[in-house]
Amino acid sequence: MSAERHDMAGAAVGSHDFVVISNEQVARDTYRLELSSHVSWGLMPGQFMNFEVPGDGSHILRIPLSFASCDLRSSHVVIYYVTVGEGTRRLSAMRHGDTSTVVGPCGKGWRLPEKEAGRCLLVSGGIGSAPIAAAAGMLAQAGISYDVIAGFQTAARIPQRLLDEMEPLLADDGRILISTDDGTQGFAGFTTQLMEQLLGEQSYDCVLTCGPEVMMRGVAALCAREGIACQVSMERMMGCGFGACSCCNVPLVAGGYALCCQDGPVFDATEVAW
């Protein structure tokens, strides 16, 4: 695995104005937000941005969101998000032409595996499919082949549009495999069960994963067992998003803690004390 972090070419963290191009519901509780800015944000795959959502002055915390795709030249960014609370519900009410600010690019993104590393497997759970789509774009651009396992609770929660946007990025032999916990679409069961099955048919040299922590712990354990390099994109409640409040600790195997917002969100799975 190369040491190259995909934030190297990123711009300095700053606050930027943005304008909403579109904000549409694409699955149950799931939205696709397309936005634009006059400046280039220099976002790299796996990094995130901290959104100010207008409408409630008492809500001072920003909302950290990853991006699924980004046109670096025009600063045209596509976000997929799930409405879980007050902030994301207000975000879902933003309409074409509405404006606000975003702080970013934040954190350290996916590391680009060396091309010689061979084939990669991307494993997402729920809305973790958004930063996984950014990883897919990164691998496609580097000419690295990969398959995707995208797991969801149920078919109604699958953002088909996101999967359709990933499809053209696949190499000829690449596959996107769906799993649902309740068996309403694709493989019936957890992503880790589908991954175990896939590992019996195909060998992989690296795994990139984002989703619920319990899922990533399972993916990391399978990778450790098979000797596969694994990167995980961690999620934590965040106060500041840039290393000032120490509320986003990730426990490390080496002892102590890393800051998810500054040292992550992407970590080597072997660094994390699960």
- Closer of 33 and 261 to ligand FES (Cβ): 261
Residue 82 as a binder of ligand FAD (CB under 6 A): the answer is: yes
65 makes contact, choosing from ligand FAD, ligand FES, none, with CB < 5 to 8 Å by partner type, with ligand FAD
Contact 99, 17 (CB under 8 A): yes
87 makes contact, choosing from ligand FES, ligand FAD, none, with CB < 5 to 8 Å by partner type, with ligand FAD
| Amino acid present at 196 | E
88 makes contact, choosing from ligand FES, ligand FAD, none, with CB < 5 to 8 Å by partner type, with ligand FAD
Instruction: Give the dihedral of Cα atoms 140, 222, 230, 201; nearest 10 deg.
Output: -30
- Closer of 49 and 240 to ligand FES (Cβ): 240
| Residue nearest to ligand FAD according to CB distances in the complex | 85
Instruction: Give least dist CB 125 to ligand FAD, A.
Output: 12
Q: Which of residues 235-254 bind ligand FES (CB under 6 A)?
A: 238-241, 243-248
Binding ligand FAD by CB under 6 A: which of 28, 37, 52, 88? 88
Q: Which of residues 2-61 bind ligand FAD (CB under 6 A)?
A: 48
Instruction: Give least dist CB 187 to ligand FES, A.
Output: 35
Compose the 252-271 pattern: x for residues touching ligand FES by CB under 6 A, - for all others: -------x-x----------
Instruction: Give the dihedral of Cα atoms 25, 124, 89, 44; nearest 10 deg.
Output: -90
Give the 3-state DSSP-derived string for the chain, with helices as H, strands as E and coil as C: CCCCECCCCCCCCEEEEEEEEEEEEEECCEEEEEEECCCCCCCCCCCEEEECCCCCCCCCCCEEEECCEEECCCCEEEEEEECCCHHHHHHCCCCCCCEEEEEEEECECCECCCHHHCCEEEEEEHHHHHHHHHHHHHHHHHCCCEEEEEEECCHHHCCHHHHHHHHHHCCCCCCEEEEECCCCCCEECCHHHHHHHHHCCCCCCEEEEECCHHHHHHHHHHHHHHCCEEEEECCCCCCCCCCCCCCCEEEECCCCEEECCCCCEEEEHHHECC
Binding ligand FAD by CB under 6 A: which of 10, 45, 46, 87? 87
243 makes contact, choosing from ligand FES, ligand FAD, none, with CB < 5 to 8 Å by partner type, with ligand FES
- Closer of 138 and 240 to ligand FES (Cβ): 240
Q: Which of residues 127-156 bind ligand FAD (CB under 6 A)?
A: 127, 130
Interface contacts to ligand FAD, rule CB under 6 A: 48, 63-66, 80-82, 84-88, 127, 130, 235-238, 265
* Binding site residues, ligand FES, CB under 6 A: 238-241, 243-248, 259, 261
